[in-house]
Amino acid sequence: MAIPRFWREIPSRYNLIGTECGNCGKRYFPPRIICPECHRKSVGKMKDVKFQGKGEVVTYSIIHHAPKAYEMQVPYIIAIIEFEEGVRATGQIIDCEPEDVEVGMRVEPAFRKIGEDGKSGVIYYGYKFKPA
């Protein structure tokens, strides 16, 4: 992945910055430029907002066959997490054995390395989740 492409999303990937619609108050993570509820009325009114990212596992999978950037990590757990703040995000679950993960499990965010561009390439950091 090109470095600027990752860099642009760093506030969200490092600090769970999403957006809140200035028109209806609905919050979004990942961030959105337009509120899908308010459409035009939300243009220019989306504000940055930080999420806590605590929540529970909606569903998960244990990945055994991964792309190059993640093959050192297999088997790893990928999950959809529903934050207490009402939004959902996809991320890995760490500090948890694959056989221990379950739907409904409580998790909280953790800042970790999420991938790398080859052995000597850039290392990418961002959120994962761990049992809470």
Partner 1 sequence: MREVAVIGIGETRFGELWDKSFREIGIEAGLFAIQDSKTKGEEIDALYIGNMSAGRFIDQEHIAPLVADYVGLAGANLPATRIEGAGASGGLALSQAYMAVASEVHDIVVVGGAEKMTDVSEVYAQEILASTADQEWESVFGATFAGLHAMIARRHMHEYGTTKKQLAMVAVKNHKNAALNPNAQYRRELSLETVLKAPMVAEPLGLFDCAPLSDGAAALVLCPLDRAKEYTDNPVRIASCGQAGDYMALHDRKDICTMDATVVAAKKAFKYAGITPKDVDLAEVHDNYTISEILAIEDIGFFNKGDGGKATEDGQTALNSEISVNPSGGLKARGQPVGATGVAQAVEVVRQLRGEAGERQVKNARYGLTHNVGGTGASVIVHIFDGGV
Residues 23-62 that bind Zn ion (CB under 5 A): 23-24, 26, 35, 37-38, 42
Any contact of residue 94 with Zn ion (CB under 5 A)? no
By CB under 8 A, name the binding residues for partner 1: 1, 6, 9, 30, 58-71, 73, 76, 78-80, 88-92, 98, 103, 114-115, 124, 126, 128
Nearer to Zn ion, 26 or 112 (CB): 26
Nearer to partner 1, 52 or 90 (CB): 90
Per-residue three-class SS string for the chain? CCHHHHHCCHHHHHHCEEEEECCCCCEECCCCCCCCCCHHHHCCCEEEEECCCCEEEEEEEEECCCCHHHHHHCCEEEEEEEECCCCEEEEEECCCCHHHCCCCCEEEEEEEEEEECCCCCCEEEEEEEEEC
